[in-house]
Amino acid sequence: MLGDDLELRAYGSLTYARCIMAGAGAGELAFLLHSTTQLNVVRSEINEQVLKEARPHLIRSVKDYRMLLKYDKALEALYILSVVCDNLRVVEERDNWAAQFAALDAERRKALSAGVNEETLEIFKIVREVAYVIGQEGSKFA
């Protein structure tokens, strides 16, 4: 996905990565030998391959959602990405994503707690007064 719509690309990347992981192993494991040991080894190899395939889509999703300041979705993608890296036993990368998760969550909390500036409050007061006047004028015609 190389679309110009950043939000659509972020959503698509996250959804595609989830679909890749959710559909992993369904058809590939059906024909394998009945030995549980061999099955677990093959399942592990398939899961690793699938996680590696999903990882770049998750990374793209994180970057796009961060640029859009969609904190919740970026945090969701970061969480999945750190779990993927943990399952791939890439500890250093997992720790990096986990640190980014913590930093972005702190940024999100700061943005949520930030107050509205005075200029914005004045604009809302004017809009409220205009809406009131329009409502009063509209009631005369009802």
* pLDDT tens readout for residues 40-84: 444 566 588 889 999 999 999 999 999 999 999 999 999 999 999
First to last CA, the chain: 52
**Residue tagged 């099955």 (tokens):** 39
Higher pLDDT pick, 120 / 106: 106
- Check whether 35 has a pLDDT greater than 60: no
Average pLDDT over residues 85-91: 90
Q: Which of 1-10, 22-31, 113-122, 125-134 has the highest mean pLDDT?
A: 125-134
Closest CA relative to residue 107, chosen from 82, 81, 72, 80: 72
Q: What is the reported pTM?
A: 0.69
Cβ contacts of residue 127 below 8 Å, gap of 6+?
Answer: none
